[in-house]
Structure 1
Amino acid sequence: MAPGLSLPALSSMPVSEVQRPGFAGIDWSMPWFAQFAGRGERWQQAALTSYAALLTEMNADAALMGQTTGRGERLAFIAQDDLPPGAAYEAHISATGCVPTRHNLHDFFNASMWFAFPRIKAALNARQSAAIDVLGVGPTRGGVRDTLTLFDENALLFACADPVLSDALRSFDWQTLLVGGRDAWGASCEVRCFGHALLEKLIVPFKACTGHAWIVDVPPEYFAWDAIARNAWLDASVGAALMNTEALTSRMFAPLPVLGIPGWWSENEAPAFYDDASVFRSGRRTR
């Protein structure tokens, strides 16, 4: 956090207007980071020690987990400079299992997702590398790759057992979803952060910070499960959807301002928080 600035004072400021903290700025008590705190705190200490120490910690966890990438290669993390010249990032991961990783927050959170949601990450990598096989690497990614990249960078997983709330999110009905339906959060719906660029932005939260919500219909009993079981269910369900949905488009997402999520930001306890039409906008199209 920038010296002399409290989080509420930053709530409406874009990250570009304040000095972005480094690894020491991760506050694991914040709801968007708390789900990754167990492993994240260890990695944070390694990152503050050195680049080499961070890669060592990541690879020790990868060896224990036995995770594979999009084409079944064992997951490992390498320095960015070890990516061969001219190699495509996603294709290299798919072919070798090695994820080029820089000593920065962006890649720190990207690596975290390989452990938090391994099937989703493997599915994204498989679809990206398959598209590269067909189209090569050009100046544009194409619609499917753009959607996969948007998911990877900025997705929120919106788990919901109540169609009324899912419809409210799709239709930009913020009053139903975030004010009138406030008591349903944690009982009928919840959110997991996935996008690593989104998590990087949330180092310094600002009111307009918006994720792309991927709506996941869950059974009512989902909310009686513990966090590990919920994450595993989301990972399997969303990973399968990403692999099996041929026509992936950005229209599958719904925008959701992160600081508007009930329980995630103290200022949103006042209903007037949602009166800011520059953040909580009305829909521009039928979804």
Structure 2
Amino acid sequence: MKRFNAPEQWSTQYLTTGAFSDLATLFNLDKLSDWPSCQWFNQYLNAKTTQDKAITFVEDEKFADETRYYEQIIFETGQVPTRQQNWHDLFGGFIWCLFPKTKALINHQHIEEIKLHGLKERSKHRNALTLFDECGVVLAITEQSWQHQLRDHQWQQVFVEQREHWGKSIRPFMFGHANYEMLTQPYIGLTGKALFVIVPDDIFCKDLSEQYAYLDQRLYEMIKLDDCLRDNKNLSPLPLLGVPGWWTDNENPEFYSNTDYFRPKRRKRT
């Protein structure tokens, strides 16, 4: 598998199409000529911790002598340590703006797990929270059949035969900021973790910002009330370059014949 290396220089060429199109639309990225500052996010940020502290992005250098864990700093102060000119933290900032309630809840649940298990022992719950936070893709679906087919790795059916239904009864929303970072230099093998969310039939007719707000509320409820990230059982592999509209090569149906990438479901022996 190709070794991943994020681009070193700022360029909006990575952020205008495909998986980044939502970011380009909602954050006017075509107007950015250089790396945005922490303060730049303020115009888009409306987030609070579960302790009701306003979330702000603060340059990571200011926490050089900090002994608290990253999640503890956020929970106790509302300040998110943010590395400048860093793709990973840039995309993390976007996700805080788009899913503020969910991000705050995940932060809170990390703290609760740390209280129970300490920093050295990572529980299944914390592993699932981290996996979704880094690699999650919300698949908003109006029909349950999409979940069954994707969890069963029926790639030809969902990506080729039913391609015209993407954007109508299924739509992907990126949550994992590491996914975004790796998509700046995409490679065959790049895979996210899908979490399925049932949505109303008319959701995709709404304004894009309304769609994100709705999903933020639903994710919050699913994680807090349904405990859907208690472990990683609800997360399903999703080949990111196979998502229609996210990678130009997948416009050719032959792209999906690569079974090293679009792997069939491994069947359990009885």
TM-score clears 0.5: yes
Q: Which residue of 1 aligns with 2:166?
A: 185
Answer with 259-268 or 108-117: which moved more.
259-268
Cα displacement (A) at 1:91: 1.2
Cα displacement (A) at 1:145: 0.6
- Indicate the SS of the match to 2:81: strand
Aligned partner (choices 131, 156, 160) of residue 150 of structure 1? 131
* 2:198 is the counterpart of 1:211: no
Cα displacement (A) at 1:174: 0.6
Q: Which residue of 1 aligns with 2:150?
A: 169
Cα displacement (A) at 1:166: 1.6
* 2:32 is the counterpart of 1:41: no
- Indicate the SS of the match to 1:54: coil
Q: What do the CA deviations read for 1:76-130 (whole angstroms, capped 9, x no partner)?
A: 1112232243201101101100000112110111011111111111111111112
* 2:251 is the counterpart of 1:269: yes
* 2:175 is the counterpart of 1:194: yes
Cα displacement (A) at 1:268: 1.2
Runs of 4 or more above 4 Å deviation: none
- Indicate the SS of the match to 1:158: strand
Q: Which residue of 1 aligns with 2:68?
A: 87
Is the 1:43–1:54 Cα contact (8 Å) retained in structure 2? no
- Partners of 2:38 and 2:201 lie apart in 1 by 40
- Partners of 1:252 and 1:281 lie apart in 2 by 19
1:1-80 equivalences in 2 (<5 Å)? 14-16=2-4, 20-24=7-11, 26-37=13-24, 38-39=26-27, 41=29, 44-47=32-35, 54-58=37-41, 60-61=42-43, 65-80=45-60
Answer with 33-42 or 105-114: which moved more.
33-42
* 2:211 is the counterpart of 1:224: no
| Alignment RMSD (CA, Å) | 2.1
Cα displacement (A) at 1:23: 2.5
Aligned partner (choices 116, 121, 127) of residue 103 of structure 2? 121
- Partners of 1:184 and 1:243 lie apart in 2 by 31
The letter for the 2-side match of 1:164 is S
- Partners of 2:138 and 2:54 lie apart in 1 by 26
Is the 1:36–1:116 Cα contact (8 Å) retained in structure 2? no
- Partners of 1:74 and 1:30 lie apart in 2 by 31
Is the 2:147–2:196 Cα contact (8 Å) retained in structure 1? yes
Q: Which runs of 5+ in 2 are unaligned?
A: none
1:131-150 equivalences in 2 (<5 Å)? 131-138=113-120, 140-150=121-131
Aligned partner (choices 230, 233, 237) of residue 251 of structure 1? 233
Q: What do the CA deviations read for 1:191-231 (whole angstroms, capped 9, x no partner)?
A: 01111111000001122211101111112122322212211
Cα displacement (A) at 1:248: 1.4
* 2:94 is the counterpart of 1:112: yes
- Partners of 1:134 and 1:44 lie apart in 2 by 43
Cα displacement (A) at 1:285: 5.5
Cα displacement (A) at 1:70: 3.3
Length-normalised TM-score, structure 1 = 0.85
Is the 1:22–1:105 Cα contact (8 Å) retained in structure 2? no
Report how many residues are paired: 264
Is the 1:155–1:213 Cα contact (8 Å) retained in structure 2? yes
Is the 1:26–1:203 Cα contact (8 Å) retained in structure 2? no
The letter for the 2-side match of 1:217 is I
The letter for the 1-side match of 2:40 is E
- Partners of 2:67 and 2:266 lie apart in 1 by 40
- Partners of 1:174 and 1:195 lie apart in 2 by 22
Cα displacement (A) at 1:141: 1.7
Q: Which runs of 5+ in 1 are unaligned?
A: 1-12, 48-52
- Partners of 1:159 and 1:45 lie apart in 2 by 33
The letter for the 1-side match of 2:27 is R
